[in-house]
């Protein structure tokens, strides 16, 4: 599959420029690759290895540690149902069972049409709004079985695409540090006291 | 029941839907704390935070001003890393702070960088929090354009970049040294302390301060109103206000900012302005006072204040401000399995007791829940726990590099020591316990310790 497109190489270069050491950009760049293709391909990982200056094996090493990175295709919509304690107490496991029924796949599976992948996930920090789930990391709080059914119907029919971008797109707003405002990365090899600490005694 | 009428500090703007925008933030006193800080010396800012006695809100509860002082003199650059990887089950506060008031956090980051002398800050947001990432990205872009962040901030000699960084799904990365590994582009495996205390050898082995989102969000108020005003709120060893998420079987689950150290668990669970009581007039069975890692509390602990020392003495912790309430309809074996499965899934695999032990605990609990357990499995569970955290003492005796392993033992010891009959019903016979369990929350205060305290 795909290496990064020229446009994404430009984005990658901007991200890399913020870090004192390039490997620090690896997780953001893996997200960029997943945003481009919907999952993280071997070709993309090789390309990232070139950009970051590490071996492809190191990229796979990092990638394979983190739950969000998918190294095989998943559905356009990743439905993550929380079943951890606060949700379990208020019907999270029953909600997951209902999602399995509605989608016709078990947790971990993808629907044959490639629209949905269902996951049984750990706490997603919405504990007072239990039971809850995320679709492509957008929250649905205190969701009922009926509401889940409606949501699935909407997504299947191609509605709510403004609200929920395809899998791989997490934040739709990127940070930009303007060149004339940048303080620049702090090089760990240069031991210089910051000026505002050095001039401390001059203040009243 | 007494409910303090102290003013909200970090959630003060939560009623304003547009509080996340720079315009609204500036219109409501935003960036005044930064201006006040820049008029002081960095040492004076540190003093103000020490006067406030601001305890870290991430879980360990260490005083922030003291932690800052651990950076070795003369070693630069120093980095600030913001821990926004909120993932402890039951915890829901940092996400709200990042989504609803991102500029407050950014201002807190700037004050900390100015005080400590950090030349670059990394704001590590949990990967799954899309909206928080978007709100912070927009807030940073706006703050850069207005001269609050970057080179020569507000015309001063203070310069720092704040880089928005984000994770990709790993609970362990909430542990500060694992977070640093992740920020270096690696698998999130914790580092051994010593020597890798972040303040001495952190990011790129340079002095690094790792602070929680809620901790930093308090700084603008502290600097604007003074450390003494903050210290006037709360109790002797737990100053200011603090956010608690009350979830589970209460009538009004919610996130409440309460006066720290003064409010009790009973207030939090039952007061009409907070939890409002147990749902459907059921009875309280147990509650987790500080996230999945904390030993459980029961009816007899309700009058304890939300104060770190008192909770620790009773054998548990306030942790990350996550109170999970279970009523008498809760199947404790099932709840226990769910918590253990979390730790088994999230163990990074670096240390044997945790990697192997959490998996064994999960398997044994699975077979008990499915009616395939034996009476001796109950003691076997405790035996496995004993090998991860000797005696299940409090504070825990750690056999692993980080506290994840011992955290997996707390739901097991809590559930078995209090609700052994429920396990016996599953395994079909009386279960003999031979493992010595020491933690006071599991067994109640032992007589000799109770008299020694008196």
Higher per-residue pLDDT: B237 or A157? A157
- What domains sit in chain A, N to C, each tagged with a CATH number? 6-63 (1.10.10.1590), 77-156 (3.40.30.10)
Give B213 to chain A, closest Cα distance, Å.
14
Nearest CB neighbour to A27, from listed B76, B134, B182:
B182
- As a whole number, mean pLDDT of residues B154-178 equals 97
> CA B299, CA B306: separation in Å to the nearest integer?
15
pLDDT at position B2: 66
Nearest CB neighbour to A122, from listed B79, B171, B330:
B171
Burial of B35 from C-beta contacts in 10 A (0-12 / 13-18 / 19+): middle
Place A200 in a pLDDT band, splitting at 50, 70 and 90. Answer: low
Q: Is the pLDDT of residue A59 over 80?
A: yes
Distances (CA, A) of B257 to A185, A194, B218, B238, B309: 36, 36, 12, 14, 19
Question: Quick check: B165 and A27 CB within 8 A?
Answer: yes
Contacts of B79 in chain A (CB under 8 A): 186
Q: Is the pLDDT of residue A46 over 80?
A: yes
pLDDT at position B3: 80
The pLDDT tens digits of the residues spanning B198-233 come to 999 999 999 999 999 999 999 999 999 999 999 999
Question: Quick check: B76 and A193 CB within 8 A?
Answer: yes
pLDDT at position B58: 85
Which of A26, A65, A172 should one mutate to test binding to chain B, selecting the residue with the greatest count of B CBs within 10 A? A65
| Helix/strand/coil for B165 | strand
pLDDT at position B454: 42
Give B40 to chain A, closest Cα distance, Å.
7
E-only strand ranges, B127-253? 161-166, 208-212, 234-235, 238-239, 241-248
pLDDT at position B4: 82
Question: Quick check: A66 and B186 CB within 8 A?
Answer: no
CATH number of B351-453: 1.20.1440.230
Q: Is the pLDDT of residue B448 over 80?
A: no
Residues A101 and A126: beta-carbon distance below 8 Å: no
Q: Is the pLDDT of residue B163 over 80?
A: yes
Place A201 in a pLDDT band, splitting at 50, 70 and 90. Answer: low
The 10 Å Cβ neighbour count of residue B192 is: 11
Q: Are strands B161-166 and B208-212 parallel, antiparallel or unpaired?
A: unpaired
Give B307 to chain A, closest Cα distance, Å.
22
DSSP character at residue B5: -
Higher per-residue pLDDT: A44 or A2? A44
The pLDDT tens digits of the residues spanning B18-53 come to 999 999 999 999 999 999 999 999 999 999 999 999
pLDDT at position B445: 66
For B398-425, letters b (16+ CB in 10 Å) and e give bbbbbbbbbbbbbbbbbbbbbbeebbee
Burial of B155 from C-beta contacts in 10 A (0-12 / 13-18 / 19+): exposed
Is the CATH number 3.40.50.1000 carried by domain B234-327? no
Mean per-residue pLDDT over chain A, rounded: 96
Question: Quick check: B92 and A126 CB within 8 A?
Answer: yes
Contacts of B95 in chain A (CB under 8 A): 125-126
pLDDT > 90 in chain B, percent: 93
> CA A98, CA A118: separation in Å to the nearest integer?
11
> CA B392, CA A16: separation in Å to the nearest integer?
45
Give A202 to chain B, closest Cα distance, Å.
9
Question: Quick check: A69 and B249 CB within 8 A?
Answer: no
Question: Quick check: A174 and B183 CB within 8 A?
Answer: no
Contacts of A128 in chain B (CB under 8 A): 92, 245-247, 253-255
Contacts of A131 in chain B (CB under 8 A): none
| Helix/strand/coil for B401 | coil
Interface A–B counts its CB contacts (< 8 A) at 242
Give B154 to chain A, closest Cα distance, Å.
11
Place B281 in a pLDDT band, splitting at 50, 70 and 90. Answer: confident
Element housing B84 (H / E): strand B78-84
Mean per-residue pLDDT over chain B, rounded: 95
User: A122 to chain B: nearest residue by CA?
Assistant: B342
pLDDT at position B447: 46
Place B1 in a pLDDT band, splitting at 50, 70 and 90. Answer: low
pLDDT at position B446: 55
The pLDDT tens digits of the residues spanning B68-123 come to 999 999 999 999 999 999 999 999 999 999 999 999 999 999 999 999 999 999 99
Q: Is the pLDDT of residue A143 over 90?
A: yes
> CA B19, CA B139: separation in Å to the nearest integer?
11
Nearest CB neighbour to B137, from listed A80, A174, A193:
A174
pLDDT at position B84: 97
pLDDT at position A155: 98
Lookup: tokens for A61: 């090493």
pLDDT at position A202: 46
pLDDT at position B5: 83
DSSP character at residue B242: E
Counted residue by residue, chain A has a size of 204
Contacts of A17 in chain B (CB under 8 A): none
- As a whole number, mean pLDDT of residues B448-453 equals 49
Which of B147, B165, B168, B328 should one mutate to test binding to chain A, selecting the residue with the greatest count of A CBs within 10 A? B168
Nearest CB neighbour to A183, from listed B129, B141, B150:
B150
> CA B6, CA A147: separation in Å to the nearest integer?
39
User: B127 to chain A: nearest residue by CA?
Assistant: A68
Residues B395 and B380: beta-carbon distance below 8 Å: no
| Helix/strand/coil for B412 | helix
Nearest CB neighbour to A137, from listed B75, B130, B186:
B130
Contacts of B77 in chain A (CB under 8 A): 186-188, 190-192, 194
Question: Quick check: A21 and B88 CB within 8 A?
Answer: no
The pLDDT tens digits of the residues spanning A7-37 come to 999 999 999 999 999 999 999 999 999 999 9
Domain ranges of chain B: 22-231, 234-327, 351-453
pLDDT at position B108: 98
User: B133 to chain A: nearest residue by CA?
Assistant: A171
Contacts of A28 in chain B (CB under 8 A): 165-166
Which of A15, A18, A27, A60 should one mutate to test binding to chain B, selecting the residue with the greatest count of B CBs within 10 A? A27
- As a whole number, mean pLDDT of residues B396-418 equals 96
Element housing B105 (H / E): helix B102-116
> What 3 state SS string does B32-67 have?
HHHHHHHCCCHHHHHHHHHHHCCECCCCCCCEHHHH
The pLDDT tens digits of the residues spanning B330-364 come to 999 999 999 999 999 999 999 999 999 999 999 99
Question: Quick check: A88 and B338 CB within 8 A?
Answer: yes
Q: Is the pLDDT of residue B452 over 80?
A: no
ipTM over 0.95: yes
Residues B264 and B244: beta-carbon distance below 8 Å: no
**Which of the listed CATH numbers 3.40.50.11540, 3.30.9.10, 3.90.550.10, 3.40.1190.20 matches domain B22-231?**
3.40.50.11540
């Amino acid at each position: 599959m795909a290496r990064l497109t020229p446009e994404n190489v430009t984005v990658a270069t901007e991200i890399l420029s913020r870090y004192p050491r390039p490997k620090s950009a690896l997780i953001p760049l893996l997200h960029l690759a997943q945003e481009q293709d919907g999952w993280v391909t071997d070709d993309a990982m090789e390309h990232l290895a070139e950009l970051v200056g590490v071996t492809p094996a190191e990229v796979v090493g990092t990638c394979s540690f983190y739950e969000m990175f998918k190294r095989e295709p998943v559905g356009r919509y990743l439905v993550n149902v929380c079943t951890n304690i606060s949700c379990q107490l208020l019907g999270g496991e029953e909600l997951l069972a209902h999602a399995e029924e509605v989608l016709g796949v078990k947790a971990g599976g993808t629907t044959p049409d490639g629209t949905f992948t269902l996951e049984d996930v750990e706490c997603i920090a919405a504990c007072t709004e239990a039971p809850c789930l995320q679709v492509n990391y957008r929250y649905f709080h205190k969701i009922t079985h009926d509401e889940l059914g409606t949501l699935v119907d909407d997504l299947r029919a191609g509605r709510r695409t403004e609200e929920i971008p395809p899998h791989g797109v997490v934040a739709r707003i990127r940070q930009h540090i303007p060149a004339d405002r940048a303080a620049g990365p702090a090089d760990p090899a240069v031991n210089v006291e910051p000026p505002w600490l050095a001039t401390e005694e001059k203040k009243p | 029941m007494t409910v303090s009428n102290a003013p909200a500090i970090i959630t003060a703007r939560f009623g304003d839907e547009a509080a996340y925008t720079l315009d609204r933030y500036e219109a409501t006193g935003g960036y005044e704390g930064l201006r006040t800080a820049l008029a002081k010396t960095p040492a004076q800012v540190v003093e103000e935070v020490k006067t406030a006695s601001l305890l870290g809100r991430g879980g360990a509860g260490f005083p922030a001003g003291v932690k800052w002082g651990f950076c070795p003199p003369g070693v630069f650059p120093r980095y600030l890393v913001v821990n926004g990887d909120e993932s402890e089950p039951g915890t829901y506060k940092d996400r709200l702070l990042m989504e609803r008031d991102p500029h407050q956090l950014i201002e807190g980051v700037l004050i900390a960088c100015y005080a400590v002398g950090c030349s670059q800050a990394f704001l590590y947001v949990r990967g799954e929090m899309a909206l928080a990432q978007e709100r912070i990205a927009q807030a940073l872009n706006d703050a850069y354009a207005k001269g609050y962040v970057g080179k020569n901030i507000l015309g001063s000699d203070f310069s720092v970049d704040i880089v928005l960084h984000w994770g990709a799904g790993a609970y362990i990365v909430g542990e500060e040294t694992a977070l640093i590994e992740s920020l270096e582009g690696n698998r999130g495996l914790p580092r051994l302390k010593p020597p890798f205390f972040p303040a001495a050898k952190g990011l790129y082995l340079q002095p690094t301060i790792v602070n929680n989102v809620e901790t930093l969000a308090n700084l603008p108020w502290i600097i604007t109103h003074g450390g003494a005003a903050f210290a006037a709120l709360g109790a002797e060893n737990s100053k200011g206000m603090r956010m608690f998420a009350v979830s589970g079987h209460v009538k009004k689950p919610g996130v409440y900012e309460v006066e720290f150290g003064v409010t009790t668990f009973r207030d939090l669970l039952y007061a009409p302005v907070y939890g409002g009581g147990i749902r459907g007039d059921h009875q309280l069975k147990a509650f987790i006072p500080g996230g999945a890692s904390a030993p459980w509390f029961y009816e007899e602990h309700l009058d304890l204040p939300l104060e770190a020392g008192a909770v620790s003495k009773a054998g548990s912790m306030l942790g990350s401000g996550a109170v999970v309430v279970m009523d008498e309809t809760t199947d404790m074996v099932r709840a226990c399995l769910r918590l253990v499965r979390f730790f088994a899934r999230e163990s990074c695999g670096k240390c044997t007791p945790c990697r192997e032990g959490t998996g064994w605990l999960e398997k044994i609990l699975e077979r008990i829940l499915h009616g395939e357990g034996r009476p001796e499995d109950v003691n076997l569970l405790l035996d496995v726990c004993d090998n991860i955290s000797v005696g299940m003492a409090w504070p825990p005796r750690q056999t692993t590099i980080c506290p994840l392993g011992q955290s997996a033992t707390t739901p097991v010891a809590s559930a078995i020591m209090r609700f052994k009959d429920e396990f016996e019903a599953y395994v079909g016979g009386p279960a003999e316990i031979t493992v010595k369990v020491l933690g006071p929350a599991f067994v109640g205060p032992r007589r000799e310790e109770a008299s020694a305290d008196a």
